[in-house]
């Protein structure tokens, strides 16, 4: 697996803003001014209606040290930071903001108040068609679907498996956690073996699981099966 890029590394810090600001002493226009000065945000709330927590208060394109912040947003029970480096960096930004906010504005911040969640989005490529190789029954279903739809639409339509996903039972909790999924990368031919993957995991764990999944797929298909996949690269066949 070759990592092509980190599309998004989002950290979600679940905490009630009223608990951080129990006596309502934080004046949002002043907070905004200080945040912009400290983190150099290029877009930030300026009108009264933009300070509505229920719709999300957004700050875009800032920087904390060498970490570029794509977005920082505040919700009634949630702080969100997005970077394109790692969820570790995103979390570090939130923690630094809260420590600074405690010193500067008297926030009632304690580390144990925060419940952390992650969404990692990666772009990667493989030397073989990963989605095709992991499920023969699904490929056969896709082939049959392609033939049937070609007859229906009078067009030459070729169907292939296009997504791998694993998620939890949504009945188990009120708010659904993101699935782990792998899709073909949009606007690229499937033959390039380029993929987009999203997971509710720290970036480094996400990368590790993708590498392990790729190894598992290769370990469970024979050399003959690999050869039967048209877009597989010669070097894999030789191996």
Is residue 62 within 8 A of residue 72, CB to CB? The reply is: yes
Alpha-carbon Rg of the chain, whole angstroms? Answer: 23
Strand order in the sheet with 115-125: 57-64, 67-75, 78-83, 2-14, 115-125, 194-199, 180-184, 163-166
CATH T-level assignment (fold) for domain 2-118: TATA-Binding Protein (3.30.310)
User: What is the pLDDT, as a whole number, of residue 234?
Assistant: 35
Per-residue pLDDT tens digits of the chain, which is 239 residues long: 999 999 999 999 999 999 999 988 888 889 999 999 999 999 999 998 899 989 999 999 999 999 999 999 999 999 999 999 999 999 999 999 999 999 999 999 999 999 999 999 999 999 888 888 877 788 888 889 999 999 999 988 888 888 999 999 888 888 889 999 999 999 999 889 999 999 999 999 999 999 999 999 888 776 556 555 554 433 333 33
Domain locations along the chain: 2-118, 126-238
Question: Residue 234 and residue 230: Cα distance in Å, rounded?
Answer: 10
Cβ count near 160 (within 10 Å): 15
């Amino acid at each position: 697996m070759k990592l092509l890029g980190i599309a998004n590394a989002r950290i979600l810090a679940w905490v009630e803003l009223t608990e951080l600001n129990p006596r309502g002493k934080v004046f949002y226009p002043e907070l905004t001014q200080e945040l912009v000065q400290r983190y150099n945000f290029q877009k930030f709330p300026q009108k009264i209606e933009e300070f509505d927590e229920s719709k999300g208060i957004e700050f875009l394109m800032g920087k904390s040290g060498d970490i570029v912040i794509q977005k920082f947003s505040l919700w009634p029970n949630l702080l969100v930071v997005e970077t394109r480096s790692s969820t570790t960096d995103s979390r570090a930004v939130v923690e630094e903001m809260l420590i600074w906010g405690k010193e500067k504005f008297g926030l009632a911040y304690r580390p144990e108040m925060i419940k952390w969640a992650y969404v990692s989005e990666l772009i990667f490529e493989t030397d073989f068609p990963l989605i095709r190789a992991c499920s023969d029954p699904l490929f056969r279903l896709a082939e049959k679907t392609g033939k049937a739809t070609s007859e229906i639409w009078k067009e030459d339509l070729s169907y292939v498996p296009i997504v791998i996903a694993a998620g939890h039972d949504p009945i188990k909790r009120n708010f659904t956690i993101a699935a782990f999924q792998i899709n073909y990368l949009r606007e690229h031919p499937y033959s390039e073996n380029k993929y987009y993957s999203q997971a509710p995991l720290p970036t480094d764990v996400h990368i590790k699981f993708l590498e392990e999944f790729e190894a598992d797929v290769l370990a469970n298909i024979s050399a003959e099966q690999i050869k039967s996949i048209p877009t597989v690269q010669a070097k894999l066949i030789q191996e």
